[in-house]
């Protein structure tokens, strides 16, 4: 897997293909924790559940996955099984997955250790769907390696929570199109929650049309707002 990632002097990862950053320049982990985990009310929502499924569009450097796995590991009320399903068309080299967590400030040795486990699985990655197991099988990662829409159509999971994490919708419109977000909605049940850093008006409009009740919440710098939504198709 050979997607090029460039790193700035202050260790911010960037995609030359999309001319955008993989995460917020001043605090990727805080963004994962606040926008995605917080936006989906985790860990509260998986509390004591037998199984909890998260669907992510845009696996990227795996930081959201690693932050979620770490929260699960640290939570005495965690769900019995965590199923994390993520779509990615342009997988990065394992070395960038590792650098991504080694570059965190402040250092986070726990995430570095989890990333090392992920990097071992990553070495066998190929196009299509594949499953990896961690934590003695309690954490399952399904990676859907391919274009977002056909991968969404191929997946059969029902998601309790969704992370929408494509690049900026202006630079990466396929990740936020009406067809894509309707295909995301097809994996939801009433009450599924969704989180994103993007509060762009077209994204909110399409999500509302697809059956989500959408709200803007206070964000973290440099973004002042973030998005939370709940799938309530009957409310439309």
Nearer to ligand SAM, 223 or 232 (CB): 223
What is the distance between the alpha carbons of residues 4 and 15, in angstroms, rounded to a whole number? Answer: 7
Instruction: Identify the residue among 54, 63, 184, 229 touching ligand SAM (CB under 6 A).
Output: 63
By the rule CB under 6 A, 169 interacts with ligand SAM: no
Beta strand ranges found along the chain (DSSP E):
6-7, 13-15, 20-21, 51-57, 81-88, 128-134, 139-145, 159-164, 188-196, 212-218, 225-231
Q: Residue 228 contacts by C-beta under 8 Å, 6 or more apart in sequence?
A: 39, 40, 193, 194, 195, 214, 215, 217
The DSSP H or E segment spanning 109 is helix 109-122
Exposure string for 66-85, b = 16+ CB within 10 A, e = fewer:
bbbbbbbeeeeebbebbbbb
Specify the residue, 116 or 235, whose C-beta has the smaller distance to ligand SAM: 116
**Binding span for ligand SAM by CB under 6 A among 71-79, 162-170, 182-190, 198-206:** 162-170
Comparing CB distances to ligand SAM, the nearer of 141 and 148 is 148
Establish if 147 lies at the interface with ligand SAM (CB under 6 A).
Answer: yes
Q: Minimum CB separation from ligand SAM for residue 87, in Å?
A: 5
Q: Which of 39, 43, 58, 211 binds ligand SAM (CB under 6 A)?
A: 58
Cα–Cα distance for residue pair 87/43, rounded to 1 Å: 22
Candidates 40-48, 69-77, 168-176, 210-218: pick the segment binding ligand SAM (CB under 6 A).
168-176
Select the residue interacting with ligand SAM from 79, 82, 89, 183 (CB under 6 A): 89
The binder of ligand SAM chosen from 160, 165, 194, 199 (CB under 6 A)? 165
Measuring CA to CA, which residue among 122, 174, 167, 172 is closest to residue 148?
Answer: 174
Minimum Å gap between C-beta 234 and ligand SAM is 30
Binding residues with ligand SAM: total (CB under 6 A) = 21
Query: Would you count residue 62 as binding ligand SAM (CB under 6 A)?
Result: yes
Main-chain phi, psi angles of 199, to 5 degrees: -115, 20
Q: Which residues bind ligand SAM (CB under 6 A)?
A: 22-23, 58-64, 87-90, 147-148, 165-167, 172, 174-175
């Amino acid at each position: 897997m050979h997607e090029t990632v460039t790193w700035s002097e202050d260790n911010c990862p960037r995609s030359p293909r999309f001319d955008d950053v993989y995460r917020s320049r001043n605090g990727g982990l805080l963004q994962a924790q606040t926008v995605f985990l917080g936006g989906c009310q985790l860990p509260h929502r998986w509390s004591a559940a037998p199984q909890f499924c998260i669907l992510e569009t845009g696996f990227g450097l795996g930081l959201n996955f690693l932050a979620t796995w770490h929260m699960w590991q640290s939570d005495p009320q965690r769900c019995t099984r965590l199923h994390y399903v993520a779509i990615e068309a342009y997988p990065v080299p394992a070395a960038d997955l590792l650098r991504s967590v080694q570059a965190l400030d402040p250092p986070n040795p726990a995430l570095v250790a989890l990333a090392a486990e992920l990097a071992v699985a990553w070495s066998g990655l190929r196009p299509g769907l594949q499953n990896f197991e961690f934590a003695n099988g309690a954490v399952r990662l399904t990676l859907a390696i391919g274009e977002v829409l056909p991968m969404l159509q191929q997946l059969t999971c029902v998601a309790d929570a969704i992370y929408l994490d494509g690049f900026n919708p202006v630079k990466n419109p396929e990740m936020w199109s009406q067809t894509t977000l309707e295909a995301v909605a097809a994996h939801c049940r009433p009450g599924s929650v969704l989180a994103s850093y993007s509060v762009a008006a077209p994204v909110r409009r399409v999500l509302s049309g697809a059956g989500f009740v959408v709200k803007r919440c206070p964000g973290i710098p440099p973004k002042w707002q973030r998005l939370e939504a709940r799938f309530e198709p009957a409310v439309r």
